[in-house]
Structure 1
Amino acid sequence: MVDVAQRAGVSQATVSLVLNGVSNPRVSEVTRSRVVEAAEALGYRKGPRHNVPEHRRPVIGLLLDEVSTTPFAMPFIEGARDEAALQDILIATFCTRSDPKIESAALDLLQELNVIGILYTTLTTRQILVPERLNDIPTVLVNCYEKHRRHPSVVPGDIAGGHAATEALLKAGHRRIAHLKGEDWIEAARDREKGYRQALTTWDVPVDEDLVLMGGWTVNGGRELTLKLLDRKDPPTAIFCFNDRMAVGAYDAIKSRGLRVPEDISVVGFDDEDLASYMVPPLSTVLLPHDEMARWAVGALLDHNEGISSHRTTQKIKLECPFVERGSIAAPPS
């Protein structure tokens, strides 16, 4: 699957979706054709990797630090489950709260089963210390990574995502673009801000530091920061928010001043939460590829079990965060 992905110029998760006939609106027909052609050229035939009795079906353990602090736990769980099911493999999920005792108990239980590997997953992208016990079990890190890269890892491409969000506003004609950023301890916040700055630099637009405001990641934070921007003598014509929840607050602040999105101010979010498509107007945002990340991780575990060389399995992969254009961007008002 690695070779097919490299030849087709796509991710392993995309290869898996195409070759298993899984419908996904983000995979175009052109991409599907390219994957099929690459697979045929390489003589790749995908089939079940395991054929064991039901009561001895292989198991992959999914250790997840949280399930309630963000809405993103389910895409991880469902992506891993659906990808594993294609190979007749079960996913056993444990919410550990990063508690070493709970992690150890989960691993004790998994080792009593026919476990073939672990997906060690965090809800916020960050560097971690991997439990020592995982050094003896095939492990893939999902949405996290370790300094010395003993295990393969997959994270979202937040820098490129921030660049794409800002560039969409630049292409619409905006030059005074504010950024409501998350707190600096959040790695995703730092990376999305980097993407914002890189996009402005690429377009030869000076960064106005007065338009870069930090205020958390909540609806209230987005509202308060947007009101500060609107109180300026020279307010921005567009706002790129760290996440969709801050964008909700931005919408509210803009409306409270008798202004409209996007006629008076354009707004872009990040994450593509369910609420984004129901906002009025629907919010243009950037999608976090949690489903695809989980699918890639399952594929990496199975490739490891099939003996793929170690230089391929100790890599840190960044998956694309696609820009989702809806109705919240327009040309700046004259």
Structure 2
Amino acid sequence: MTDIAKLTGVSQSTVSLVLNNATSAKFSEATRDKVLKTAHELGYRLAPREPLPRSSDERNLIIYLADEISTSPHPVVNIDGARDAAYASGKLLAVYSTHGNADIEQQVLDAVLASPTVFGVIYATVYTRKVTLPAALSRVPTVLLNCYTSEGGQSSIVPAEVAGGHVATEYLLRAGHRRIGYINGEHWQDAAKDRLKGYRTALATADLPFAPEMVRDGDWSSGTGFEHTLSLMREPHPPTAIFCANDLMALGAIEALKQLGYRVPDDVSVLGYDDQEIARHTHPALSTVVLPNYELGRWAVETLLQEVQNQAAGAPVRHRMVKLDGPLIERGSVRVITEAKAPAINIISD
């Protein structure tokens, strides 16, 4: 799904809607044809959608319990992947948003877990963090999405953020950049800590020292991307490339560079993270690392299905943490200064 989205230049949600033949979705025939053609070229088997298959197991409902859905573009795509995986296995997905309120969470669990139709639970958070699970979830098969516990009593599916930060920085290094600024998110969040760790390890692998003056802590907003870019460019030795920990801050960085009279990427390169829809519409279009939201949701449900199947067969259930990485999307915001000499990395152009 992620590969198709990147090669066609549309969102993961659009690919899902096309492949699932969603009749209510509004997009052009050209977009539909492009997605279907790319899917065919990549070897995807496109079977007609059929009614939900009947099953002798009355447990056909997967509960998707999320703290937030509307505050970020990412959870909706997680849900797309989870829904498609559930439907493909003859299950339905019921989504509940609790706004992080423990009382609402408990009321939802009290209401739904009493039903004999419940197959299991996907417990999801809007940003990656450690959680303390409600006691009720110890009595039902549960997989964690974008979160984890200290006990490790459930499998969890999370983004590979260290790898993402490393891939992004390595890409800029391969393009010949040696002064790479980094605008991070809120430093207390797991995603920010791990993307910074990836940035630092890539520099170390290239035998380059970590320069604290090249790093700024932001808050994921375009405003801090703008302000911190102005600050970075006032350094005595300013960066030739700026890696932003999300696309919104990269948008702010591009605007700040334009205000200062710099051309992107001719004078300064900018690289984002997440591959939000806006990344396709900046000028120039933003090169970025994909946060594989659809695949995260799909893996969560498929892990839940496999664990329940193993348990029913008397096989051991091994709980694990799965970290999923996404490709780097090469668009128009990074300039190659020197000939690349490092090993190739996972890059898809659109």
Bucket of the pairwise TM-score, normalised by the shorter protein: 0.7 to 0.9
2:278 corresponds to which residue? 275
2:336 corresponds to which residue? 331
1:7 corresponds to which residue? none
Residue 160 of structure 2 corresponds to residue 170 of structure 1: no
Distance 1:326 1:332 in 2: 16
Paired amino acid for 2:325: E
Distance 2:107 2:335 in 1: 53
2:88 corresponds to which residue? 86
SS at match of 2:270: strand
Distance 1:177 1:315 in 2: 35
SS at match of 2:209: coil
Asked if the contact 1:265–1:332 (Cα under 8 Å) also holds between the matched residues in 2, the reply is no
Residue 199 of structure 2 corresponds to residue 201 of structure 1: no
1:202, CA displacement in angstroms? 0.5
2:11 corresponds to which residue? none
1:311, CA displacement in angstroms? 4.8
Q: Deviations over 1:220-250 (max 9, x none)?
A: 1000000011122321000000111110110
CA-based RMSD of the aligned residues comes to 2.8
* TM-score computed with the length of structure 1 as normaliser: 0.83
- Identity across matched positions, percent: 43
1:38 corresponds to which residue? none
Paired amino acid for 2:138: N
1:200, CA displacement in angstroms? 0.7
Distance 2:188 2:37 in 1: 34
1:11 corresponds to which residue? none
SS at match of 1:179: strand
Moved over 6 A (4+): 20-30
Superposition map of 1:315-330 within 5 A: 315-330=320-335
1:310, CA displacement in angstroms? 3.9
Distance 1:323 1:291 in 2: 16
Paired amino acid for 1:329: V
1:21, CA displacement in angstroms? 10
Q: Are the structure 2 counterparts of residues 180 and 64 from structure 1 closer, same or farther at C-alpha, using a change threshold of 3 Å?
A: same
Distance 2:138 2:275 in 1: 35
Q: Deviations over 1:148-188 (max 9, x none)?
A: 11000000000000000001100100000010111221110
Distance 2:218 2:290 in 1: 22
Residue 135 of structure 2 corresponds to residue 142 of structure 1: no
Residue 51 of structure 2 corresponds to residue 51 of structure 1: no
2:348 corresponds to which residue? none
1:69, CA displacement in angstroms? 1.8
Unmatched 5+ stretches in structure 1? 1-16, 34-47
1:98, CA displacement in angstroms? 2.3
Asked if the contact 1:128–1:144 (Cα under 8 Å) also holds between the matched residues in 2, the reply is yes
Unmatched 5+ stretches in structure 2? 1-15, 22-34, 45-50, 339-350
Equivalent in 146, 158, 162 of residue 159 of structure 1: 162
Asked if the contact 2:59–2:116 (Cα under 8 Å) also holds between the matched residues in 1, the reply is no
Q: Are the structure 2 counterparts of residues 302 and 136 from structure 1 closer, same or farther at C-alpha, using a change threshold of 3 Å?
A: same
2:8 corresponds to which residue? none
Distance 1:159 1:301 in 2: 25
Paired amino acid for 2:102: P
Distance 1:170 1:132 in 2: 47
1:216 corresponds to which residue? 219
Distance 1:140 1:175 in 2: 41
Paired amino acid for 1:77: I
Residue 133 of structure 2 corresponds to residue 120 of structure 1: no
1:107, CA displacement in angstroms? 1.7
SS at match of 2:100: coil
Distance 1:148 1:311 in 2: 15
